[in-house]
Amino acid sequence: MISSVRGTHDIVPGEVGRWQALEAVAREVCRRYGYQEIRTPVLEREELFAKGTGESTDIVQKEMYSFTDKGGERVTMRPEATPSMVRAFVQHSLEQSMATAKLYSLGPMFRYERPQKGRYRQFHQLDVEAFGIAAPSLDAEVIEMAAEFVRALGIERTELLVNSVGCPACRPAFGAALLAALGDQIAELCADCQRRAQTNPLRIFDCKIPKDQPIIDGLPHSVDYLCAECREHFDAVQQALEAYGIDFRVSHRLVRGLDYYTRTTFEILGQGLGSQNAVLGGGRYDNLVKALGGPDRAGIGFAAGLERLVLAMPESAGAAAKVKAFVVSVGEEARLPAQVLARDLRHDGFSVLVDYDGRSLRSQMKRADRADASYVLIVGGDELERGEVTVKDMTTGQQSTVARTALVQRLKPVGDAAG
């Protein structure tokens, strides 16, 4: 048997109902907040992420599925959606065709990470991005939307973290303050942190090595180094969140593992998910569109991890819809009429299973039982001639004879127009 690739997973029929429920909520919330769907390719040019996600990030340094294709081109299976969304926004001049360029996408991402509970090499995200608006009221709206999405999934007891990482005007001073505070302790940090100190000191906050944490916890906070504009922006975001009545905590370590963030960053943490407890994260990226060759436009968005949301959703979410009817046939001459009856009812909108190989009534009834159908419809010789079907209600066990012409009405739930 050839098994699936390490770090990937099948979503089997027993689980898919939860995924469909999650995706339906995602689409519905996006619709309510004015976002339109976009579908971009899994494969992109490698340079999109090198430039977009950032050379100093763990994603680009260690985690990308990149290869040379048969035409000699370097391509990458997207590790995150934001650079693709920016590329599409620029490539199709979406600001011309959309009143506000608010986009969302659902799909798989690929990162070569060490698999564990809630962490995969192929995983799925809802990605939400809005372009062209720099005002802090949009930051607050996007954060509120993220919170509403999680709430609409029935996930309770979450925690919202926010931070501001400043802008290119104030960040160098913060980077210098980090290095100054670290001083000789740099030598005690892990090899990755020593590299980060050289390339982008802010990235030291991404470190997960336990031994490094006491040192990192003692480092200065980005919010204490914001320039006047960034300070004002962050204050306005917090005021708006308070006006919405949303609980949040300012987390100084929340710099997020991507290079493009400016000003606001945020994350929502779930419960009972172990160490991989961030269900979604995002922030503002006011320089990314330009850096990727587009016009000078602001951007903000978030990505939500669907695997983790599925884990955090209530037990009852996305229960599979029951099969309406299982058609069994008595005797060879009833087999085709049974198939035709199944076809007709399917065309009428019911979910219907049928027996194919004319086994004994007993074994057909057993199958109907396993299928957990609401009704078993028995098609047999006498009834056929009279234009009738025997209907067994599997909930009550009651059996009755119903005219074929009255069957659709009989199967419909009371007061329901559809099947």
Q: Which residues of the shown chain bind ligand AMP in the complex (CB under 6 A)?
A: 80, 111, 113, 118-120, 123, 125, 257, 278-281, 303, 305, 307-308
Asked if residue 155 lies in contact with residue 309, where contact means CB atoms within 8 angstroms, the answer is yes
C-alpha–C-alpha distance, residues 152 and 258, integer Å: 28
The nearer residue to ligand AMP, 301 or 337, going by C-beta atoms, is 301
How many other CB atoms are there within 10 angstroms of residue 279's CB atom?
26
C-alpha–C-alpha distance, residues 34 and 107, integer Å: 20
| Min separation Cβ 264 and ligand AMP, Å | 14
| Min separation Cβ 152 and ligand AMP, Å | 17
| Min separation Cβ 69 and ligand AMP, Å | 24
| Min separation Cβ 279 and ligand AMP, Å | 5
The nearer residue to ligand AMP, 113 or 159, going by C-beta atoms, is 113
| Min separation Cβ 304 and ligand AMP, Å | 6
DSSP state of 303: E
Residue closest to ligand AMP (Cβ): 305
The nearer residue to ligand AMP, 226 or 278, going by C-beta atoms, is 278
C-alpha–C-alpha distance, residues 149 and 153, integer Å: 6
DSSP state of 55: T
- From the number of C-beta atoms within 10 Å of its C-beta (0-12, 13-18, 19+), residue 211 rates as exposed
The nearer residue to ligand AMP, 167 or 278, going by C-beta atoms, is 278
The nearer residue to ligand AMP, 292 or 411, going by C-beta atoms, is 292
The nearer residue to ligand AMP, 23 or 113, going by C-beta atoms, is 113
- From the number of C-beta atoms within 10 Å of its C-beta (0-12, 13-18, 19+), residue 245 rates as exposed
The position carrying tokens 């005690």 is 188
Parallel/antiparallel/unpaired status of strands 299-305 and 262-269: unpaired
| Min separation Cβ 273 and ligand AMP, Å | 9
| Min separation Cβ 276 and ligand AMP, Å | 7
The nearer residue to ligand AMP, 100 or 122, going by C-beta atoms, is 122
C-alpha–C-alpha distance, residues 239 and 82, integer Å: 27
367's torsion region: left (phi>0), alpha (psi -120 to 50) or beta? alpha
